[in-house]
Amino acid sequence: MGTEVVKVDEIAFPPQITTTKPLPLLGHGITDIEIHFLQIKFTAIGVYLDPEIVGHLQQWKGKTGKELAEDDEFFEALISAPVEKFLRIVVIKEIKGSQYGVQLESAVRDRLAADDKYEDEEEAALEQLVDFFQSKYFKKDSIITFHFPATSPTAEIAFSTEGKEDSNIKVENANVVEMIKKWYLGGTRGVSPTTISNLATTLAAELSK
């Protein structure tokens, strides 16, 4: 848990951010895709967690980062731990907000359907999210943040891009919120393997203290 700015693919991430309390940067990585041997990077990701998370993960003490990265139960425990979580996503390759909204929607919907939790309320909450991103344009260096409070199963999502006022939306459907967390933090099924691996390495070191 350093004090230096962390560079993720040339993008600066503060070593901590303060919401209701300071949250250190415990994991970072990128989302990317390989097309014809070319790596295309879409976003850089920073995962900020209340350090108290370590107390909820004690049964994994002594495991290596590699072991944790492959242990989905570990990430289930991380997701369900009642501590504050904050994701900061910075755009590397510009896309339309609608494209991001559709990716988010399909990832969340598939996970809900697999768990038999996709009902009218979830559909409505997802539609609101898609609408929120529909009108946005993700220029390079735009920032999307997801704030998951410790005590309520909600998500506060904000979008900021150069020269425009920030826009926000609150998601209050607990099932949808859980699956957004799983999209970014869901172990081997997470959208960014580099982030999962980095987070696992950091937490393995914290757990060994």
Outline where 41-192 has alpha helix (H): 65-69, 72-80, 97-114, 120-134, 174-185
Digitized pLDDT (tens) for each residue of the chain, 209 residues in all: 567 899 999 999 999 999 999 999 999 999 999 999 999 999 999 999 999 999 999 999 999 999 999 999 999 999 999 999 999 999 999 999 999 999 999 999 999 999 999 999 999 999 999 999 999 999 999 999 999 999 899 999 999 999 788 999 999 999 999 999 999 999 999 999 999 999 999 999 999 99
Distances (CA, A) of 138 to 46, 71, 110, 146: 17, 33, 24, 16
- The whole-angstrom separation of Cα 205 and Cα 45 is 20
Give the span between the Cα atoms of 53 and 67, in whole angstroms: 18
Amino acid letter for position 46: G
Closest C-alpha to 26, from 18, 15, 36, 34: 15
pTM of the model: 0.96
